[in-house]
Chains A and B, each alone.
Chain A
Amino acid sequence: MDAVLRAAAMYFVLMVLFKIAGRRSLSDLTTFDFVLLLIIGEATQQALLGDDFSVTNSVLIIATLIAIDVGFSQAKQRSTRLAKFLDGGPTVVVENGKPLIRRMKEARVTEADIMEAARSGQGVIDMRDIRYAIIERNGSISVIKAGS
């Protein structure tokens, strides 16, 4: 019984914590972000397993985690409201070459982040050449060139 409770508790705790972290912070992983994720995984592991290192326990925990995850994705398919609640929606941060500063501040995205996405994705080097820049649900920044 406690395997299921542990897995469910950790699933929801991590979900809330990663919501607080925001959608941007863990996309576009830097090396340090990656190490941080590994440490988070390490810290989670003990809480998930407790002092029971049996194969049964780990199978039960993995099964519970996947069951919850699949359950959520099915529920999201049925309810767009839930999907929006869990995944959020895309947000426009540059419109016709003009950065929407206050939106960017709220989303903790800088002009440098947008220009980086513009250069690497579209080969655009000037803000005025960006028609739209959009923060996607997974935190990546999509850039659409002017004139396209």
Chain B
Amino acid sequence: MSDEEFASRTHPVSEDMSRQRRMWRFERIGWVALLILVALTLAGLFSKGPLSSVNVKTSDGKLSVAYERFSRNGATDDLVITTFGKADEMRFLLLGHELLQGVSIESLNPQPAPLRSDGADLVIPMKADGNGVATLYLTVRSNGVGLLRGRVQMMGGEELPIPKFIYP
């Protein structure tokens, strides 16, 4: 019965049932693929979700960065850099140029002293509060595509890699 039902007719139209069944199979597989895509999006594979939003720290705990591992070209997201140390001191944070090649900084707060560069890297001054904490809020817009091997570092401290992947 089923073989007969799926046999190609030549009248009134000429059919190619094997191709048609492949098409139907493609539709079914495609539907499952779409569901997987939606699930991965909810999980944050394409920015903003558990897979993407991370908080990384150096092993000495003096520098921590909350950021999105995955971003999309043209979209903005936040980067919060927190540093710990002596109270009221002035510290300098080094933002590696690898990240800056793929993102542009839209806003940077607070800014206690003028920024400068060190080679291609960006040096951001930070003023610690009475508890020795200094936090920097950055809004960045992704304008590159691909993997950026970003890094941040306190001047003289441990380097913290912040890799970021930007989707087209």
Give A residues with C-beta under 8 Å from B: 9, 16-17, 19-22, 50-51, 84-85, 88-92, 95, 100-103, 106-107, 132, 134, 144
Contact mask for chain B residues 18-29; partner A; CB cutoff 8 A; 1 contact, 0 none: 011101101100
A102 touches B12 (CB 8 A): no
* Known pairs A84-B19, A91-B20, A103-B6; A20 contacts B12 (CB<8 A): no
- B131 at the binding interface (Cβ < 8 Å): no
A19 touches B26 (CB 8 A): yes
- B86 at the binding interface (Cβ < 8 Å): no
Partner of A19, one of B12, B30, B168: B30
A106 touches B5 (CB 8 A): no
The distance in angstroms between the C-alpha atoms of A147 and B21, with both chains bound, is 30
A132 touches B15 (CB 8 A): no
* Known pairs A19-B26, A19-B30, A20-B27; A90 contacts B13 (CB<8 A): yes
- B116 at the binding interface (Cβ < 8 Å): no
Give B residues with C-beta under 8 Å from A: 2, 5-6, 9, 12-17, 19-21, 23-24, 26-27, 30-31, 33-34, 74, 168
Q: Find chain B residues with CB under 8 A from A17 CB.
A: 34
Among B27, B31, B33, B168, residue most surrounded by chain A Cβ atoms (within 10 Å): B27
A89 touches B34 (CB 8 A): no
* Known pairs A107-B24, A132-B12; A20 contacts B5 (CB<8 A): no
Measured between C-beta atoms, what is the minimum distance from A127 to chain B in Å?
A: 16
The distance in angstroms between the C-alpha atoms of A132 and B6, with both chains bound, is 16
Q: Find chain B residues with CB under 8 A from A51 CB.
A: 74
Q: Find chain B residues with CB under 8 A from A9 CB.
A: 168
Residue of B nearest to A16 (CB): B30
The distance in angstroms between the C-alpha atoms of A92 and B11, with both chains bound, is 9
The distance in angstroms between the C-alpha atoms of A144 and B9, with both chains bound, is 16
Measured between C-beta atoms, what is the minimum distance from A105 to chain B in Å?
A: 9
Measured between C-beta atoms, what is the minimum distance from A109 to chain B in Å?
A: 12
* Known pairs A51-B74, A134-B12; A88 contacts B2 (CB<8 A): no
**Interchain residue pairs A-B with the least CB separation, the first 9:** A20-B30, A90-B13, A106-B24, A22-B27, A92-B9, A100-B5, A132-B12, A102-B5, A89-B16
Q: Find chain B residues with CB under 8 A from A106 CB.
A: 21, 24
